[in-house]
Amino acid sequence: MNLQPLVRSRCCTVSLPHTRSFNLSTKVPPSSNLTFGSSLHQRPLSASPAKRGVLQLVAAYSRGRESAPESPAKALRRILDLPGVHQAPACFDALSAKLVERAGFQCCLTSGFSISAARLGLPDTGLISYGEMVDQGQQITQAVSIPVIGDGDNGYGNAINVKRTVKGYIKAGFAGILLEDQISPKACGHTKGRKVVSREEAVIRIRAAVDARKESGSDIVIVARTDSRQAVSLDEALWRSRAFADAGADVLFIDALTSKEEMKAFCGISSPVPKMANMLEGGGKTPILNPLELEDVGYKLVTYPLSLIGVSIRAMQEALAGIRGGRIPPPGSMPSFEEVKEILGFNNYYDEEKRYSASITPLSSERYGSRGSFSGIWSRTLRVKITGRDGFEKLDVRIPAGFLDGITNIVPALGGVNIKELLNEAADEMGGKVLLDFNDTIGDRIQVFLE
């Protein structure tokens, strides 16, 4: 349901965007001296019990909507602001992401190399599509509470494709997106034959990503990667990194640097912008440094792209070789069945199942009325409107009608009329219905509609 609460006065109109948060420009505590309106014409809004009940309703809903959890992007930005270097192991599916979180890491990154291997069984040579990466990413972000940086490859096309990619990754729940300057089809930066687009197109991709972020009202972290170290030269990679920072990138990344000196040169440019290192395990071009060494060089973020997929491949190979020889994996080489169930959340599921099965009771007609408990009410809107005796509108707010189902202790009745009872009676009626329409003691008109 899209909601657009409005708070109007003689001098201003505040229209809130279609979002999950609900923030009135003026707080609405259950107080008798609250006023809405212009600074020159203050208009009291709580002079009667009925009006106080209406404002308590609005305040309760406002407080509930303001308590939304921290966004993934905000969480990632908070981590990047912390001192030290932060490790972000690369995952490839929901299970590997859960293991990263359970191991105590604050964030992780998806590896296009590993996702292509795990999902398609194919090399990272541009064969996996945008749709497959978004789908896999959504499964990953829903499985964990830590922020996840999504591998956006080269944006899957031109600047317009980049914008679509960024917006899709935002909707998928990613905290950040990594975008590179390779041509299509792209490939792993540590393999041969790397080619990059022109300087102009590379910078335009980052600008398009920044524009997509603004248009989405998001603060997703943009990680700008260049593969020009291998394709052209170190100087070209440094130039592009500076240009990416100027275009609005939040984190810079040069892949396949070949020495510690090159890494120091990279960390010395655009100093306010965090740098990411790629510790490609098992034979990449970049020297493998430990976290303290990387911090000393100047890095803020480090990823390990092949650790999880690599050990998974080896472990599966060894297990299959054993099974072929008539042996199952020995104790200690794999978790017990109980440990597997714990990792996957079976125990949490059982606990939650008990909690809900114990709370299921027959509905009481005395409590809810003959039409059932707010049947279909969540698809309806409750509109609360207050008009001053001078004709000026003081309040016009829309909230889910079903919100009342959880606050019976706040608004048991308004002006001697039980609004929940009215809602029950009107639940099955189509179209709008006036639930309350009366003037309070100071002459303000209070109206409550079910839309």
Write the pLDDT tens digit of every residue in 369-385. 444 444 555 567 778 88
User: What share of the chain has pLDDT > 90, as a percent?
Assistant: 56
Checking if the pLDDT of 215 tops 50, the result is: yes
Q: CA 89 to CA 302: how far, in whole Å?
A: 8
pLDDT at 408: 46
The one-letter amino acid code at 239 reads W
Checking if the pLDDT of 362 tops 90, the result is: no
Helix axes 159-171, 130-143, angle to 10 degrees: 20
Lookup result for tokens 């042996």: 327
Q: CA 266 to CA 173: how far, in whole Å?
A: 30
pLDDT at 442: 76
Residue 276 has phi, psi (to 5 degrees) of: -115, 140
Checking if the pLDDT of 55 tops 70, the result is: no
The one-letter amino acid code at 193 reads G
Q: Is 322 exposed, middle or buried (0-12, 13-18, 19+ CB in 10 A)?
A: middle
Confidence of residue 301 (pLDDT cuts 50, 70, 90): very high
pLDDT at 159: 96
Higher pLDDT, 290 or 401: 290
Residue 207 has phi, psi (to 5 degrees) of: -60, -40
The one-letter amino acid code at 236 reads E
Q: Are 286 and 275 in contact (CB under 8 A)?
A: no
Q: CA 377 to CA 405: how far, in whole Å?
A: 9
Beta bridge partners of 400: 381
Confidence of residue 233 (pLDDT cuts 50, 70, 90): very high
Higher pLDDT, 295 or 431: 295
Q: Are 370 and 435 in contact (CB under 8 A)?
A: no
Beta bridge partners of 329: none
Domains of the chain, first to last: 72-315 (3.20.20.60), 378-450 (no CATH)
Confidence of residue 294 (pLDDT cuts 50, 70, 90): very high
Higher pLDDT, 4 or 251: 251
Q: Are 123 and 168 in contact (CB under 8 A)?
A: no
pLDDT at 139: 98
